[in-house]
Amino acid sequence: MKKIIIFFGLIFFLSVTVSADTKKVKVIDGDTIHIGTIKYRFFGIDAPEIKQICEKDNKKVECGILAKNFLKNKIGDKIPSCITKDKDRYQRVVAECFIGNESLSRFMVREGYAVAYSKYSKDFVEDEKFAKENRLGIWSMSFQMPADYRKSLQNK
């Protein structure tokens, strides 16, 4: 009987360890995360690309890295919950992800580290307006819209 309890205890421990491991969060950039093996692209927003450079006070700013780190700090060691909306052409799950009741999409736009992707959704337009009016995040800098930046890379 003792061996059976130890065996099932070990099975339980291993299953909890495996599921905890598969729930690791990796922040890719300001609008993309991986939770375990699932790739999530945040719905309705567009953040600067990792290699994108902005300018503030005549100085180059790695605003893509800035956006990534801002999101990373927000998530911390928590596991976001995500509501799936769609799949994109890169097979990422397009979703609105939350820490508690707070939308990470809304947070990133309102704090100025992403823009409302109004081509796909009007949900965060007011948040972008707030960030722009208050010169928050990238709105305190000169920058190219992320979609325009990506397009400029294709034309090179």
3-17, pLDDT tens digit by residue?
444 444 433 333 333
What percent of the chain has pLDDT above 90? 78
Task: Check pLDDT > 90 for residue 113.
Answer: yes
| Mean pLDDT confidence for 114-142 | 96
Q: pTM of this prediction?
A: 0.83
- Tell me the mean pLDDT in the region 43-59: 97
pLDDT band at 155 (very low <50, low <70, confident <90, very high): confident
What structural domains does the chain harbor? 43-151 (2.40.50.90)
Is the predicted pLDDT of residue 47 greater than 50, yes or no? yes
Worst-scoring range by mean pLDDT, 39-43, 100-104, 108-112, 149-153? Answer: 149-153
Model pLDDT, residue 19? 39
- At 18, the pLDDT band (50, 70, 90 cuts) reads very low
Residue 3 pLDDT: 47
Residue the block writes with tokens 């890719």: 28
